[in-house]
Amino acid sequence: MSNPNVLPAIRQTQVLNAPIDKVWKAVSTAEGIAAWFMPNDFKPVVGHEFHLDAGPFGHSPCKVTEIDSPHRVSFRWGKDWTLTFELRELDGKTEFTLIHDGWDPEKLTEFGQPHPAVRENMAQGWTGIGQKLAKYIES
């Protein structure tokens, strides 16, 4: 039985004017992810442990949980979250869906902030990050 108090995942989908291979490089390499999200030492290897450099929030520990080239990347982020990037080919363009899951109204982040408040900020933040990704890929 699923917990009725769990907050829904943040899901954002956008169509990028670029072929799937180009988008895949942007979401599955350290250089690509750094260009639109955060500096990191990501490697597209299941089980690889890496860090996202969240600036004032320090280095968030992460662990790659899924790599399905060129369609899906998933990793644990911090102690509670999962981040997934899904790609789907659309006639020379790519549909990109970001899924940020693991929200729980009973939990606090590593920084002592309640999940519901952080989720609101993140949902808005991802919109801006999605625009950065589009700009990076389409330039």
Q: What is the pLDDT of residues 12-67, one digit of tens each?
A: 999 999 999 999 999 999 999 999 999 999 999 999 999 999 888 789 999 999 99
| Model confidence pTM above 0.85 | yes
Q: Is the pLDDT of residue 4 over 80?
A: no
Distance set, CA 4 to CA 8, 19, 20 (Å):
10, 39, 36
pLDDT tens-digit series, residues 73-112: 999 999 999 999 999 999 999 999 999 999 999 999 888 8
